[in-house]
Amino acid sequence: MRIFASLSLASFVLASLAAPAQKTAATPQAAQTPPMGWNSWNYFANKVDDKGIRAAADQLITTGMKDAGYIYVNIDDTWEGQRDANGVLHPNAKFPDMKALADYVHSKGLKIGIYSSPGPKTCGGYEGSLGHEEQDAKMYADWGIDYLKYDLCSYIGDVMEKEAPNDRAAQMRLMIDAYAKMDRALKATGRPIVYSLCQYGWDSVWEWGPSVGANLWRSTGDITPDWDRMYVILSQQEGLEKYSGPGHWNDPDMLEVGNGKMGLAENRTHFSMWAMLAAPLLAGNDLPNMTPEIKAVLTNRDVIAIDQDSLGKQGARIYSDGEVDVWIRHLSDGAMAIAVVNAGSDRYSTHPFHLNLHKLGLTGAQTGKDLWTGKTVELKDNMPLELASHDLLLVRLDSPKLLAGAPARPTGSK
């Protein structure tokens, strides 16, 4: 979420070695595919309330988003009230009965998520979980919560910087310990709760996230509803693909589809590339007033199938030529998705982009499906492509023809 206080982001570097798979550290059976749902923050921020969450649950059904795979209805910050003499945290007046709200969401065949911080206060200045981790985790389980977003927020200034001033390594160890503590508390409840770390990608979280039970972790700072920020975040995912897989996902932040001033092509590219990244698909738009065009983006079943593919391999950028990037994602049963993204101005027939299939490990003509037009397409080496600005070509190849010596196609599930 947006950080209310001004924070100096720590720099981080990508490790050269792949983190070992640690599926046993994550909540059993949780998030075997990237979570899909809706989060209250990006559009409603601190205006979220019980009525709005119930309405969002209803809208996921009436818009067809539930049928497309959107299951979680996540309450972000500003739900928290005060703790009583026994330390029990009570929701504020906007949420008169959290258990009843969870029951309502569950009655719709959906799941419900909630938000907190390891610090004394959330980013919005509400009560955090510091010193009450086990108490809060039990409360979430008693309410029937299915998903926790745990945002670093005040833990930075009130704990990390106070206890280890001028020692960044010690601060990072404190941060990791805080996330591990809540993981233990969640596991002790016996309820499967998806555990989402929000600490802005600090200290190469993709290396240690699975060891503290994380099912997903933010890999960057916050997204905003504009092309430039979305593209920066997309580019930052390059090289992180080896850390992602079933039960433990890189999270480039929530979707901004339908928010801000992004055009339809930009929304289409944003959604497509989050699918190529095997990223969580958490919409954050105004559901009741969603245009038919935005609904069509968010419910494109072919693109969602890329995101939810059981192999769980995150896509990778293979090469760039000028302002055009080419990504691939290996899918189950040997299939492949190819995304050609034009980050620059329009490419016309006078100077089109030429697709190099050899660089993708492919040979000969490739028959596939354009996932935005639904049409069968044939890709050929060095073929010219006209691409509108900030748009993309997204193609699924069910039977790609590989170059001799190219890496073997992955098959089955990871």
Catalytic residues: 151, 222
Q: How far is CA 191 from CA 28, 140, 183, in A?
A: 10, 9, 12
How many Cβ atoms are within 10 Å of 94's Cβ, its own excluded? 18
Q: What three-state secondary structure class fits 396?
A: strand
Output the CA–CA distances (angstroms, integers) from residue 275 to 130, 175, 314, in the order listed: 35, 29, 9
Would you say 287 and 299 are in contact if contact means Cβ atoms under 8 Å apart? no
Rg (CA), the chain: 21
What does the DSSP 8-state code read for residue 232? H
Cα–Cα distance measured from residue 402 to residue 293, given in angstroms and rounded to the nearest whole number: 36
* Alpha-carbon torsion (168, 174, 175, 176), positive or negative: positive
376: nearest Cα among 365, 364, 384, 368: 368
* Region of 237 on the Ramachandran plot (φ > 0 left; ψ -120 to 50 alpha; else beta): alpha
Structure tokens at 57: 């649950």
Sorted by sequence, the CB contacts under 8 Å of residue 249 that are 6+ apart come out as: 31, 34, 35, 215, 216, 217, 278, 279, 280
Helices (H) and strands (E) in the chain, counts: 13, 18
Residue with tokens 């098959």: 411
Residue 155: count other Cβ atoms within 10 Å of its Cβ.
Answer: 25
The DSSP secondary-structure symbol of 48 reads -
C-alpha 354, offset from chain centre: 31
Q: What is the Cα 299 distance to its own chain's centre? A: 16
Asked if residues 262 and 225 have their Cβ atoms less than 8 Å apart, the reply is: yes
* β-bridge pairing 324-330 and 316-321: antiparallel
- Residue 217 CA to residue 248 CA, distance in Å, equals 8
